Every structure is written in structure tokens, then in C-alpha cells.
Amino acid sequence: MFTQLTRAGRPQGLSLSTAGEKPCRTFPPSRSLLYALLSVALVGSSMALAAARTSPIPPQGNTPVPAKPTPFRNQPSRIANRARAYYGLVWGVEALSVKVVESGEMVRFSYRVLDAEKAKPLNDKKLEPVLISPERGVKLIIPSLEKVGQLRQSSTPESGKSYWMAFSNKGGVVKRGDRVNIVIGNFHADGLEVE
């Protein structure tokens, strides 16, 4: 209902009369006023609709998961924090990496020793290290050369030093990007990405 103010400043149509005052009469609004109010309401609602269309709507229900970016070739393979802590605490090693070398004919496994006593089994000559590729269905071993012996470091480990061993990959069966497992006695490093 549209009201007009009286001379006293009170809205018309309300029973605010006091002693000696008569309530004022209300007049119906003119058509031009109705058209003006209607156009303002329409413009306001159309602006609200436009704002709603341009504002992002949060996804609901089954939304596609964005694809993970592919790693660069020169990035080191990522090991989960729990696995990194496990290898450090139980086996005394860190920075485990597997790389294809010598034009793909060899795969080198390297690691850095944190605790020499815990890392002794990895350098034990009596244990035969094996690289297993579940994807390719192959098991690689360390070759033994006549004058050189096995292609691995088997000296007593020292804390802070890095060590390596090389597995024969004849024919380049294991390739960059594959996930492999290294087994040396009771030591198992699973799911290492080949660089």
C-alpha cells in the first residue's frame, strides 16, 4: 500500500491520530508512479539474473577430477613421505632413485646412507639384489664381469655417502616411467619410478 506523509510528517493510512487530529486520507498512486516502480523492479531483477549467470556456480555431484600434470624427465622420482621415513628409520637410507643409463642397457639403483649400521644389508656381498618390473614381467640381476666383478658397491657403508648398483637391462626392456621394485634380502623398495 502506498502512503503519503501528512503535514506533521506521519504516514497516511495509519491510525496515528492523537487528540484533536484527524487521520489523513490516502490517495491511490498515479499510473505513472506504478509504471516507474514496475520498471525499477524489472530492471533490478534482470540485473540480479545477469549477476547470477556470470558468477561461478560451485560444482555439485559427480565432478571430473582434473588430470595430474605429467612429470618432467629431469625431475627426481617422488617417494611418499611415509615411505621416505620408513627407509630412513628402518634401513638407514634416503634419496632412493632408479635411472636408465648406458643407452638403456643398464638400470642404476642409487641411495644415500644415513645410518651405516642399518644400511649394511644393502652392501652385503652374500645377498643377490634383484630389480623386478611387474609391468614388463621381468626380473633383472646385476651382471658380473671377469676383471671387475659385480657392478655394485659392496664396501662397508659410511654415513653421508651415496652408493649404487647397476642391473643388466639387455634390449632396454625396462623403460623410463616404469614402476619397479628393488629387493636385496629383506630390503624391499616398491614402486620406484624409473627416470
Phi and psi dihedrals of 149, rounded to 5?
90, -155
- Residue 65 falls within a domain, yes or no? no
The verdict on 185 and 116 lying in the same domain is yes
Task: State residue 45 phi and psi, 5-degree precision.
Answer: -70, -35
Domain check: are 125 and 177 in the same one? yes
Same domain, 39 and 107: no
Q: What pLDDT, in 10s, does the model give residues 13-52?
A: 444 445 555 555 555 556 666 566 666 565 655 565 555 5
**Boundaries of domain holding 41:** 1-16+26-54
Residues 87 and 182 in one domain: yes
Q: What is the 8-class DSSP label of residue 25? A: P
Shared domain for 107 and 30, answered yes or no, is no
* Percent of the chain residues past pLDDT 70, beyond the cut: 57
Residue type, 119: A
CA atoms of 31 and 169, how far apart (whole Å): 91
Residue 71 belongs to a domain: no
**Mean per-residue pLDDT, 100-116:** 91
Mind giving me the DSSP string for 169-193? Answer: -TTS-S-TT-EEEEEETTEEEEEEE
33 lies in the same domain as 87: no
For residue 159, what is the domain's CATH number?
2.60.40
Q: Output the CA angle 176-180-186, nearest 5 degrees.
A: 150
Residues 102 and 176 in one domain: yes
Same domain, 92 and 1: no
Note whether 11 and 89 are same-domain residues: no
In this structure, is residue 63 part of a structural domain?
Answer: no
- In a domain? residue 59: no
56-93: pLDDT as tens digits:
555 555 656 566 555 544 444 456 778 888 888 999 99
Same domain, 104 and 189: yes
C-alpha 72/C-alpha 76 separation (Å) is: 9
Kindly report the number of other CB atoms within 10 A of residue 109's CB atom. 25
Q: Is residue 60 part of a domain?
A: no
Q: Is residue 141 part of a domain?
A: yes
Structural domain count of the chain: 2
Confidence category of residue 53, pLDDT binned at 50, 70, 90: low
Do 128 and 168 belong together in one domain? Answer: yes
Return all residues near 109 (Cβ < 8 A) that are at least 6 apart. Answer: 96, 97, 98, 129, 131, 164, 165, 166, 167, 182, 192
pLDDT band at 154 (very low <50, low <70, confident <90, very high): confident
189 and 111, same structural domain? yes
